[in-house]
Amino acid sequence: LSPNSSRLHMEFGVFLATVPAARYEEALASFERALELDPLSLHAIGWIGDVLNMLGRFDESLVWYEKALEIDPDYAWSYSLIGYHHWLDSGRLDEAAVWISKTVALDPGDTISLSNLGVLLLDLGDPDQAENWIVRSIELGPENFYANLAMQYLHLYKGDEAAALEHGRKVY
């Protein structure tokens, strides 16, 4: 009914990218159409990067994440996406920590970024700093999936299986 609605192409793209049998090529086409209709849509640009990432086209995805930052250097989600790219796709943990820290600086209430920064710092072997960020994420979202998952990891790291199980139940 609204073939020229960027928002509807975005929503359909999200659906295609996240259904159990994800249809990434179709999702990419939907996000590209959304971007044609709204060339400054940071959300569409980020999703194009994500879908390229899901397709294993990591270098291309990074270009899209950086493109979003060119449009709006204060767009926190772009810093997260670049951080996750360095963490999960290229294994550059130090670089990932720099980018995800920028996300937290721009959006200190983002429970997901706070908890992910904590987990990343655990991976880097800094449990004290990790605990700081994970505790903040739990304070902001005591029932949040990511905050509790991060807290579970922290307790496992510290050898406290009972506390890890408690947070694991919240995750479940």
In tens, the pLDDT along 82-140 reads: 999 999 888 999 999 999 999 999 999 999 999 999 999 999 999 999 999 999 999 99
- 48 in Cβ contact with 24 (< 8 Å): no
Burial of residue 64, with CB atoms counted within 10 A of its CB: 0-12 exposed, 13-18 middle, 19 or more buried: buried
Between CA 48 and CA 60 the distance in angstroms is: 9
pLDDT for the residue 67 = 96
Q: Does pTM surpass 0.95?
A: no
Crossing angle of helices 127-140 and 111-123, rounded to 10° = 160
Is the pLDDT at 144 greater than 90? The verdict is yes
Cα separation, 99 vs 9, in Å, equals 29
- Check residue 73 and give its pLDDT: 96
pLDDT in tens, 1-15: 788 999 999 999 999
Q: What is the pLDDT of residue 37?
A: 97
Label residue 51 exposed, middle or buried (CB < 10 Å: 0-12, 13-18, 19+). buried
| pLDDT at 125 (0 to 100) | 95
* Distances in whole angstroms, Cα of residue 18 to Cα of each of 54, 63, 80, 143: 11, 22, 19, 23
The answer to whether residue 25 scores a pLDDT higher than 90 is yes
The pLDDT value given to residue 146: 96
Tokens of 75: 């767009």
pLDDT > 90: what percent of the chain?
94
By C-alpha distance, which of 30, 39, 42 is closest to 66? Answer: 42
Structure-token pair, residue 69: 């930052």
Q: What is the pLDDT of residue 135?
A: 97
